[in-house]
Chains A and B, each alone.
Chain A
Amino acid sequence: MSGTLILRPATSAELVDLVGQAAADASPLELFAGCSKHSVANPDREVQPVDLGAFTGVVDYEPSELVMTVRPATPLAEVEALLGQNGQMLAFEPWDAGMLWGNTGKSTIGGVIAAGISGPRRLSAGGARDHLLGFHAVSGRGEGFKAGGKVVKNVTGYDLSKLIAGSWGQLAIMTELSLKVLPAPRSSMTVLVERLSAEAAVRAMSAAMGSRMSPAAAAHVPARGSDRSRTCFRIEGFAESVAERARQLAVLLEGYGSASELDAESSLSFWRDVREAGTLQTAEALWRAHLSPAAAAKLAYALSDAGAEWIMDWAGAALWIGASSETDVRSLVAAHGGHAMLMRAPEALRSTTPIRHPEAPAVAALSARVRQAFDPAGVLDPRRFC
């Protein structure tokens, strides 16, 4: 972002004024802290960069209350380190999405929540949206407001936290977040079955997730070159329970193939690849698709036929898809009842293809009215995904 004048508000009051001024000038803003997801956007738009880097630091953290209140520009790594010291975690397994752009180490907690970035454990523990309890923010109206609370159980008023998580900053700019945190598992084990087809993998993952072995995560990486396909199940908890459930899971999976335990190092790298798109990171266009797991195998075959590569997470409910710019991935995903977001692509593709999947007309109209309610002057980067 060199060469552009960057605004850097130091306080919420300054941010309120800045947004109010932008509304008066009809000048759209691009808000960032770590700037790790800067390129998940249409490059063809005029925006005034605003650095939220001043909004940093942990405000309050009491491990036994299972709540952490933090400012948005606090590095994700710092949040996770502090939680780790107390044997806790963000259960939705956020990760540094800057990875996709070769821009690592800059991810912030605000960015992760605003973009709804969740990892493999989202399947069992919920996503970013399930862990945001409340927030303070400045809306596109240039008004500071708060919503939700700082306790884990709260139904007072509309649940705006769900709406703000994953809204990519297009409704309001968070200045403080209260997050639900949970004890980190004391132990973890990955059960591997090799050589499954996509269809068998989806059935195996469904059987495992529907079993009392309660895997925390289930993912499938297809065969590539001389590498066999791998279907993995992560079991977490207290050591004795993990060992017993892993044993029972191997029995449950006997009909699919012989199960083995993945060693700790391979396990880390497998889940990192699944989380961060692994080998697909170098594909020309990288898509993230969401759909009914029952449709995942058919989509996977259709993608392979079209020359695209994929990795299946969340027991089939999410796919990373790597393809050439010319492959019409979005239509293939839509034909299987899903939707796809363009996470990384050359500028030419990003300036001609909507980054987020177009919604059904009635839902799109409703979403537009909600955005209008929070940002009537269109200052919160309204053309980012157009």
Chain B
Amino acid sequence: MMSLVMPPVREDVIARRLQIAEALRRIVPDGVVCNETELKAYESDGLTAYRQPPLVVVLPQTTEQVSQVMAWCHGEGLNVVPRGAGTSLSGGALPLADGVLLGLSRMNRIVEIDYLDRVAVVQPGVTNLGVTRAVEGEGFYYAPDPSSQIACTIGGNIAENSGGVHCLKYGLTTNNVLGVEMVLADGEIVRLGGRGLDPAGLDLLGVVVGSEGLLGVVTEVTVRILPTPETARAILLGFPETRRAGDCVAAIIAEGIIPAGMEMMDKPATLAAEAFVHAGYPLDVEALLIVEVDGPPIECDILLARIAEIAASHGATTSRISQDEEERLRFWAGRKAAFPAVGRLAPDYYCMDGTIPRKRLSEVLDRMAGLSEHYGLGVANVFHAGDGNLHPLILYDANQPGQLEKAEAFGADILRMCVEVGGVLTGEHGVGVEKRDLMPVMFDEVDLAHQQRIKCAFDPELKLNPGKVFPQLHRCAELGRMHIHHGALPHPDLPRF
């Protein structure tokens, strides 16, 4: 982590800390933090291996204040790092020593709920679960459910395009957001999308979702809300071989079934979870699968019976359908506690997040076992089996010299392997600073330049969240140049008719 290079720090800006805080206080009188002890609380997000207290923190309460803060910082040429609840697992909200940290946590009002349009309009600091809490009385919920949903905010969900265990059936954040109000780097306020479904022009909203706080600061969000499913039931399946579990997942999908959730755990993860929460998991299986279906009771009955048949034909040695809500929650308890459970096996763990084509799972796990041996570090795997999103948890001890570096190298090898087998670097945690330097594994320079020109269209001075996502910061003028061909067509034989 020491190897992480951030943009050069401007000492002249740090020297002006107090004046900057004073100027921000004129915009947000009760929302500026600049003493060192308090700044420490903001020094990292969910990826705690990286720490850097910000220059100053500003906590606006209105869009107008956000706009004024951005305009003032823009005029002063200051870097700004937006932050929601700080639960990012990729360092997306890692502060900069010379950057203003713009916290949106105080913008936490539900603005409007419209049941005719079936939308909720909320400020960015409302928590993910807070949206569901606001509408559940009327029988609705907000579908994306990242595991941090108690704490993480909608604004952060927009930045990261957050998913959750139900996203195979209900989609990621991007599939559930209809509109945003956003402040650009220069303070301009724009509205993208609305309550309709298609935009009038380019789908700028689509590129803002998942842009990791690099394109603008979202100040209001319109999300669609869905009726809460009538019932949800789960089946717990155990397999003697990972390959059979993988084949079973493919067979369920081939049957036309898209479960609400489909989670797999390998043996180390299963053992750790069982020891931690006593969920009743079988201890003699190589792969454990939890498949959840939701909808009308009759549909759940039919689908579970069919899934049980498919599992039996794939050699499942454990097959238990939840008989009541308590049992369903018990099946999930182990999976939901998998991270802390694995955390008990070693002083530290490092959570990875690649996606692979599902058919390559066995091969990837085999190769991962080889890497585990090579690095001398243990690994446990939980897997969103429906969509191929793999979360290897690498076990290490930060107090042992060299282990952190080994864990990082192991993780990078895993992500390179994900790309090599046809997958991607990150399925839901984002690039942030963590996977920034691995981006060239997946994208060449021309690919990255096309992405970065989007950044230039939104933030030509590159002042919003610099140092994230892109391994190299090219100046926009440099990216704008075009190499134009002159003279004759390079392919004179091009068919023309």
Residues on A close to B: CB < 8 A?
5-10, 13-14, 17-18, 20-21, 23-24, 62-67, 87, 116, 118, 122-123, 126-127, 129-130, 139, 141-147, 149-163, 165-167, 171-172, 182-186, 202-203, 206, 209-212, 214, 237-238, 240-241, 244-245, 248, 290-294, 314, 317-318, 337-339, 341, 356-360, 362-364, 366-367, 369-374, 376-377
Residues of B in contact with A (beta carbons under 8 Å apart): 114-118, 139-140, 160-161, 163, 167-168, 171-172, 174-175, 184, 188-192, 194-207, 209-211, 227-230, 250-251, 253-258, 295-296, 298-299, 302-303, 355-359, 384, 387-389, 422-431, 435, 439, 442-444, 446-451, 453-458, 469, 480, 482, 484-486, 489-491, 494-497
Q: Can you report 23 residue pairs joining A to B where beta carbons are below 8 Å apart?
A: A5-B496, A6-B496, A8-B496, A14-B491, A17-B491, A65-B358, A87-B254, A147-B450, A150-B422, A151-B427, A155-B431, A156-B424, A158-B210, A163-B202, A166-B198, A171-B202, A184-B256, A185-B256, A338-B196, A366-B184, A372-B457, A373-B456, A373-B480
User: B482 to A87, Cβ gap below 8 A?
Assistant: no
Closest to B115 in A: A210
For residue A63, which residue of chain B has the nearest CB? B254
Asked, given contacts A24-B486, A65-B358, A293-B195, whether A152 binds B190 with beta carbons under 8 Å apart, the answer is no
Max chain A Cβ within 10 angstroms of own Cβ: one of B210, B228, B431: B210
Q: How far is the CA of A20 from the CA of B184 in the complex (A)?
A: 32
Known: A10-B494, A318-B196, A364-B201. 10 other contacts (CB 8 A): A64-B251, A129-B203, A154-B355, A157-B443, A159-B207, A161-B206, A162-B205, A367-B201, A370-B204, A374-B453
- In Å, the complex CA distance between A5 and B494 comes to 12
Chain B residues positioned under 8 Å from A241 (CB to CB): 295-296, 298-299, 302
Contact of A183 among B258, B428, B456 (CB under 8 A): B258
In the assembled complex, the Cα of A144 lies from the Cα of B489 at a distance in Å of 17
- Return chain A residues, CB-CB under 8 Å to B227: 210-212, 214
Name which residue of chain A comes closest to B470, CB basis.
Answer: A157
Would B116 and A314 count as touching, CB distance under 8 A?
Answer: no
CA A313 to CA B480, docked complex, whole Å: 42
Q: By the criterion CB–CB under 8 Å, are A214 and B295 in contact?
A: yes
Tell me the interface secondary structure of chain B in the complex: loop
Q: Chain A interface secondary structure, helix, strand, loop or mixed?
A: mixed
Contact A165:B447 (CB < 8 A) given known A8-B494, A62-B359, A151-B357: no
Neighbouring A residues of B469 by C-beta, 8 Å: 157
B497 touches A141 (CB 8 A): no
Distance between B461 CB and nearest chain A CB, rounded to angstroms: 13
Nearest opposing residue in chain A for B196, CB measure:
A290
Give B358's nearest chain A residue, CB to CB: A65
Check B428–A153 contact: CB distance below 8 A. yes
Q: How far is the CB of A126 from chain B (nearest CB, A)?
A: 5
Residues in B neighbouring A155, C-beta threshold 8 A:
160-161, 172, 210, 426-431
- A183:B253 contact, CB within 8 angstroms: yes
Given the known inter-chain contacts A24-B484, A157-B451, A167-B203, please indicate yes or no for A293 contacting B117, CB distance below 8 A.
Answer: yes
